[in-house]
């Protein structure tokens, strides 16, 4: 993908999504979409090109609208179901699995802080199949919370100026949610149509993994925004909400999918291509006792990660309408436990694949390095060492986790 080049638009037709009505339907559709995405995942990773019809089919499946509240016509699936849907998609293609993950988080911002009129407007767009991308992070600050983008009142109306990085899904989006500080220093989330004058999307994501997430740069230059399109996202952290645990749950689900994909390919390669070690005294690599041990170890750790992910989702579901300092802390703790396991099994499974597959598994024709690259890049979103710190401080000192997007 070219660097510092404005992206082409990926909108091929007016959004035309089906509306999913239940958790069970969401899971069934996720498996259907996963089958579609799996067949071309390696080629998309190799070339960095995602055919527009793939993105349109994905969003038109209805999966991007499954968190819309029932009040507004959506399925309002449970957090546990959402995590499962993301993991299923990410096991097929974690790059594409990451795109609606950010979309779901933006919809959650609207649910938490949007007015009735705003919810009606944006949720209707989501159910029709509109894709929302984020422009939240910046690459120049001293840390991830050092936001320089500003929202100001001018004689011509509200204007945004700033430069954003890691804007996942920006090339494919209909709308982009831009995080900016207003004149009072409060964080506002501005939803702006993708083709608005003053908004530039650069196709400059060039890292070694998650290559087709379109996590490029978004530049706002005197960008006009309507007050109706502003969501006061700062309020989600000024008082206890599940905004942070929700975001982390969806992130952990992607890592679980990466781990599942790596283990699946390990099993297939060992069965079909690998050779046993000479001292094993067996004819097939699948009969090598140490290989059997390692596969069993990977399977058990992935099973534990998936159970913790589901349990964390159920904790969020339990406390969704019972918010307090303590319940939000309990949700953060549950998600942190899951995030530790999904991070570590994604990296371990992707690495063990080569150990068990042998030297031939590293040949470019198999493209198995994709799993390690995806796992290594995606798990960098927030350092897992701080999840251990969060848990230790909770268990040892009864300290509530700080409230922000990474807890």
Decide: helix, strand or coil at residue 274. coil
Residue showing tokens 């320089």: 148
Here the CATH number for the domain that contains residue 184 is 2.40.110.10
Decide: helix, strand or coil at residue 306. helix
For residue 11, what is the enclosing H or E element?
A: none
Q: 181 and 109 in one domain?
A: no
The pLDDT, as a whole number, for residue 348 is 98
β-pair type (187-193, 230-231): antiparallel
98 inside domain: yes
* Distance from the Cα of residue 388 to its chain's centroid: 21
Q: Is 242 left (phi over 0), alpha (psi -120 to 50) or beta?
A: alpha
The pLDDT, as a whole number, for residue 7 is 52
Q: 154 and 197 in one domain?
A: yes
pLDDT digits (tens, 9 = 90+) for 147-170: 999 999 999 999 999 999 999 999
Structure tokens at 100: 């609606």
CB atoms within 10 A of CB 35: 10
The pLDDT, as a whole number, for residue 119 is 98
Q: 264 and 208 in one domain?
A: no
165 inside domain: yes
12 inside domain: no
Decide: helix, strand or coil at residue 305. helix
* Cβ pair 251, 375 in contact under 8 A: no
18 inside domain: no
Here the CATH number for the domain that contains residue 67 is 1.10.540.10
Decide: helix, strand or coil at residue 293. helix
Q: 79 and 37 in one domain?
A: yes
303 inside domain: yes
The pLDDT, as a whole number, for residue 4 is 44
The pLDDT, as a whole number, for residue 141 is 86
Structure tokens at 10: 């990926």
Q: 119 and 169 in one domain?
A: no
Contacts of 42 (CB under 8 A, 6+ apart): 367, 370
CA-to-CA dists, residue 191 to 37, 60, 71, 132, 194, angstroms: 28, 21, 22, 8, 9
Among the candidates 100, 131, 162, a domain finishes at 131
β-pair type (199-202, 187-193): unpaired
The pLDDT, as a whole number, for residue 12 is 55
Which domain, by its residues, includes 203?
150-234
Among the candidates 101, 131, 161, a domain finishes at 131
Q: 254 and 204 in one domain?
A: no
- What is the signed CA dihedral for 181, 254, 324, 240, rounded to 10 degrees? 0
Count of domains in the chain?
3
CA angle 397, 399, 400 (to 5 degrees): 160
What is the Cβ-side half-sphere exposure of residue 404, based on CA atoms within 13 angstroms?
8
Q: 155 and 119 in one domain?
A: no
CA angle 181, 185, 186 (to 5 degrees): 70
Q: 119 and 47 in one domain?
A: yes
Q: 71 and 29 in one domain?
A: yes
DSSP summary character for residue 87 = H
- What is the spatial distance between Cα 332 and Cα 273, in angstroms, rounded to a whole number? 42
Q: Which residues of the chain have pLDDT under 70?
A: 1-12
372 inside domain: yes
266 inside domain: yes
- What is the spatial distance between Cα 122 and Cα 126, in angstroms, rounded to a whole number? 6
CB atoms within 10 A of CB 74: 21
The pLDDT, as a whole number, for residue 11 is 60
* Distance from the Cα of residue 232 to its chain's centroid: 22
Among the candidates 104, 131, 158, a domain finishes at 131
Residues in the chain: 407
4 inside domain: no
Q: 104 and 46 in one domain?
A: yes
Beta-sheet strands, E only, within 210-313: 216-224, 230-231
Here the CATH number for the domain that contains residue 349 is 1.20.140.10
Q: Which candidate, 135, 88, 406, places its Cα nearest to that of 247?
A: 406
Q: 155 and 40 in one domain?
A: no
* Cβ pair 17, 127 in contact under 8 A: yes
The pLDDT, as a whole number, for residue 10 is 63
- What is the spatial distance between Cα 255 and Cα 248, in angstroms, rounded to a whole number? 11
- What is the spatial distance between Cα 400 and Cα 385, in angstroms, rounded to a whole number? 17
Q: 256 and 392 in one domain?
A: yes
């Amino acid at each position: 993908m070219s660097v510092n080049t404005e992206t082409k638009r990926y909108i091929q037709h007016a959004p035309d999504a089906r509306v999913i009505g239940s958790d069970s339907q969401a899971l069934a559709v996720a498996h259907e979409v996963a089958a579609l995405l799996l067949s071309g995942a390696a080629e998309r990773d190799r070339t960095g090109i995602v055919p527009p019809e793939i993105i349109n089919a994905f969003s038109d499946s209805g999966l991007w609208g499954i968190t819309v509240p029932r009040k507004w016509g959506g399925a309002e699936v449970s957090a546990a179901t959402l995590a499962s849907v993301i993991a299923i998609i990410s096991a097929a293609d974690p790059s594409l699995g990451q795109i609606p993950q950010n979309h779901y988080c933006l919809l959650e911002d609207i649910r938490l802080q949007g007015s009735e009129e705003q919810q009606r407007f944006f949720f209707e767009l989501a159910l029709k199949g509109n894709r929302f991308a984020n422009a939240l992070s910046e690459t120049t600050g001293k840390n991830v919370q050092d936001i320089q983008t500003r929202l100001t009142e001018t004689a011509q109306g509200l204007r945004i100026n700033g430069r954003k990085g890691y804007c996942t899904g920006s090339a494919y989006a209909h709308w982009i949610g831009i995080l900016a500080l207003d004149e009072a220093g409060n964080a506002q989330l501005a939803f702006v149509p993708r083709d608005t004058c003053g908004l530039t999307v650069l196709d400059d994501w060039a890292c070694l993994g998650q290559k087709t997430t379109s996590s490029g740069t978004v530049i706002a230059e005197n960008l006009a925004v309507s007050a109706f399109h502003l969501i006061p996202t700062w309020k989600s952290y000024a008082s206890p909400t599940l905004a942070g645990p929700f975001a982390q749950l969806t992130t952990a689900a992607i890592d679980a999918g990466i781990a599942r994909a790596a283990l699946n390919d390990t099993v297939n390669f060992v069965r079909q291509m690998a050779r046993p070690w000479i001292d094993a005294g067996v004819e097939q690599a699948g009969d090598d006792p140490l290989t059997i041990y390692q596969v069993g170890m990977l399977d058990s750790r992935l099973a534990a990660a998936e159970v913790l992910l589901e349990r964390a989702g159920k904790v969020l579901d339990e406390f969704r309408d019972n918010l307090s300092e303590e319940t939000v802390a309990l949700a953060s703790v549950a998600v942190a436990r899951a995030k530790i396991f999904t991070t570590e099994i994604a990296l371990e499974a992707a690495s063990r694949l080569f150990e068990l597959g042998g030297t031939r598994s590293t040949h470019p024709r198999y493209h198995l390095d994709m799993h390690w690259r995806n796992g290594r890049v995606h798990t960098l979103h927030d350092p897992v060492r701080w999840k251990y710190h969060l848990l230790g401080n909770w268990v040892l000192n009864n300290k509530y986790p700080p409230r922000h997007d990474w807890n």
